[in-house]
Amino acid sequence: MARAIFGLRIWLAFICLVNLVIVSTYYGWVIGTMSSARQDRLGKPRYSYNWADYGVIAFSTILFISYIYSLVGKKHLFHHRFVRAFLMLFPALFLLGIMFRSIHVQIESARMTDENLTGDYFMVRIDPFSCDGLKGDSLSICAIMQSYIFLPIVTGVFVIIEVVVTLFRGPLHHPKADYY
């Protein structure tokens, strides 16, 4: 029974690592590149982080650290399983909510742009989730942006699955085992 949960947590540690790398790359490279280009070309101010940005960075880091600790740690941090479930579900649901909101904003933005640019002589269709026709750094930036949007959703879904499996099947370590 514990072997299945252990395998699931190894998988989640890997997903959380990839998510953390993508989030770090997005905020470190993509935002920096786009912000400096906006400032150089258009004279606009640099990108300023908001609460959602800080939340995605913090909760991606927290999920990765918690799954690494769940694999190598020998002692329960929380003795009640519902406390652990809540503390794991909160970051997962936060990531899901922020990323679904981001998808909604991108779709609405593309829809408004389509409506504004469509006319008798000017037919444009904007696909917000496509990197077609891009090359070089633009393709890399687009791929990171798409991964940044969808990978936290995958992470959140797998965290929810792991929490449900752990609640129904029991903890990874036997609660009466000697961990000292």
3-class SS string, 121-143: CCCCCCCCCCCCCCCCHHHHHHH
Is 174 inside any structural domain? no
Is 177 inside any structural domain? no
Is 180 inside any structural domain? no
Weakest-pLDDT range from 10-19, 37-46, 86-95, 126-135: 126-135
Structural domain count of the chain: 1
Is 6 inside any structural domain? yes
Question: With bands split at pLDDT 50, 70 and 90, how would you rate the model's confidence at 115?
Answer: low
- Cα–Cα dist 69/6, whole Å: 12
pLDDT above 60 (res 121): no
Provide the whole-model pTM.
0.79
Q: What is the pLDDT of residue 127?
A: 61
pLDDT above 70 (res 129): no
- Cα–Cα dist 4/156, whole Å: 19
Is 114 inside any structural domain? yes
- pLDDT per residue as tens digits for the range 36-74: 766 667 777 777 888 888 999 999 999 999 999 888 876
Q: What is the pLDDT of residue 146?
A: 84
pLDDT above 90 (res 103): no
Its domain, for residue 104, covers 2-169
Is 175 inside any structural domain? no
Q: What is the pLDDT of residue 179?
A: 43
